[in-house]
Structure 1
Amino acid sequence: MKTESIRTRGAESSGSISVHDQKREHILAVAEDLFYRNGYAGTTIADIVRELGVTKPFLYYYFSSKSDIFETLCWRASHACLTAMHFKPDDERAAIDKLREGLHRFAAANVSYFKSGTFAYREGGALDPAFMKKLRTMARRFYKELCALLEQARNDGELDFDDAKLTALSIGSIAGFMYTWYKPGGRIGPEDMVKELTRILMKIAGAYSQPASAASKIGRGRNAGRAIRNPSI
């Protein structure tokens, strides 16, 4: 799975992205960066239009308010992450295979939506209570589905852990702490980061063995010394 595909899946399915959608996405990208750097309270509509080089009426054609932009960013990041464990009812693959795919999707979503994925954690007070309720409902479903896969895979003899809920919460916590250490453009590229995170998450889940990924070798030798001196990767 390409990490960029999560953001562009809709455009790819239709073969192209309209000019309207291109402009809308550009607004979101600029606003996302400003919100990430300056926070919700520290970012104004004036800041966004100044960075874009457009007028306020231009922005208001696409979004009704600053909160509309912010909630759009929060929703699509949260939706990408928290629907990672959705599988069709007729998917008869082994639980361990679905778990591995789901964790890969979860890792890819967190890398792809790295900036806006932090907003609900860092800026929850800026979000409407009804909106936060929707996010919590989606999060509960995510953990319910994840726990079910964990328990089924353990029953199949594929995993070794004691408490499914604690294991699931440990896996999910990666989304809440990535912003403290992950630096896009760092020494590990996004594709390798997704592979490595998936491998680590499977270990947290108690997988007995995992194929060694190319990313697992990153950081050894001379790179290991640099990693110790600079923990941001």
Structure 2
Amino acid sequence: MHKLAENVYAADMTDKPKKKRAAAQLKGEITAYKRRRILEEASHFFFANGYEATTLDSVAEQLNVTKPFIYSYYKNKGELLYEICQTGIQLSLTALEEALAVEGTATEQLKIVVERVARIIIENQRYVTVYLREEKSLTPDDARRIRDLRHTFDTKLAALLEKGKRSGEFDVAAPSRTAIWVSGLLSWIALWYHEGGRWSATEVVMDAITMVQKMVQPAGGPNA
């Protein structure tokens, strides 16, 4: 009987760390969900009304929560704007780094980059548009942090273009400058694409791939 009790106690002690980890994970998931909901609602207001015209009271009312509830997850409206504005470039940078980790030619890697980043911009269109419109409303530090991310993206993209130039796949006079052109082409999708409009998301993505390929390939095509 004592042995059984000891085994039960030992099992309980073994389970406690697991339960704590599970509870911590669940709490983290709930917190992340609440932050996402606040961010999503704020992005709607920033997109429709602009940053200056949006109040946290209106965001709280739409979420059916109090303003202190929002403050428990974000310190102010400016932090909300930063989180929205950095989303597109952070996801794009991750997609670029993942594409560069895939074995293949520069042409193959560039196609993956353009396809993934174009889809990210379409899927996060509201966030990217808010950034393009409201960059001036960011604090100097927040604006610099996002510019640093964009610079990292452009630098890594330029390195990929340089790789293609060395292999003869690409004909680009200045890879660093071409990288900025490619980034701009992709970013501006957010300003003119309309869901359910004339072109589907897939058509836009495929067009982006074609346009970038034409921008970098030697005259006469990839095998010229």
Fold in common (TM above 0.5): yes
Whole-Å Cα distance in 2 between the matches of residues 102 and 89 of structure 1?
8
TM-score, length of structure 1 as denominator length: 0.72
Q: CA deviation at 1:45?
A: 0.6
- Structure 1 residues 91 and 18: alpha-carbon distance in aligned structure 2, compared to 1, 3 A threshold: closer
Which residue in 1 is equivalent to 2:170?
A: 159
Aligned residue identity for 1:198: I
RMSD in angstroms over aligned alpha carbons?
2.6
Which residue in 2 is equivalent to 1:8?
A: none
* 1:212-231 paired onto structure 2 within 5 Å: none
Identity %: 27
Which residue in 1 is equivalent to 2:125?
A: 114
Task: Give the structure with the higher percent helix.
Answer: 2
User: Highest CA radius of gyration, 1 or 2?
Assistant: 2
Which residue in 2 is equivalent to 1:225?
A: none
- Structure 1 residues 90 and 42: alpha-carbon distance in aligned structure 2, compared to 1, 3 A threshold: closer
Which residue in 1 is equivalent to 2:17?
A: none
Count of residue correspondences: 194
TM-score, length of structure 2 as denominator length: 0.75
Check whether the contact 1:84–1:106 (CA below 8 A) recurs between aligned residues: yes
- Structure 1 residues 100 and 179: alpha-carbon distance in aligned structure 2, compared to 1, 3 A threshold: closer
Report the more deviating stretch, 184-193 or 50-59. Answer: 184-193
- Structure 1 residue runs of 4+, over 4 Å off? 87-92
Q: Does 1:103 align with 2:144?
A: no
Q: Does 1:172 align with 2:183?
A: yes
Q: CA deviation at 1:101?
A: 1.2
Q: Does 1:127 align with 2:138?
A: yes
Unaligned runs of 5+ in 1: 1-13, 210-233
Report the more deviating stretch, 198-207 or 48-57. Answer: 198-207
Aligned residue identity for 2:121: N
- Structure 1 residues 70 and 190: alpha-carbon distance in aligned structure 2, compared to 1, 3 A threshold: same
Match of 2:81 among 70, 89, 99: 70
Deviation string 1:137-184 (CA, Å, 9 cap, x unpaired) is 222221111112112112222223333233222111124433431123
Match of 2:63 among 40, 52, 77: 52
Unaligned runs of 5+ in 2: 1-24
Which residue in 1 is equivalent to 2:214?
A: 203
Which residue in 2 is equivalent to 1:220?
A: none
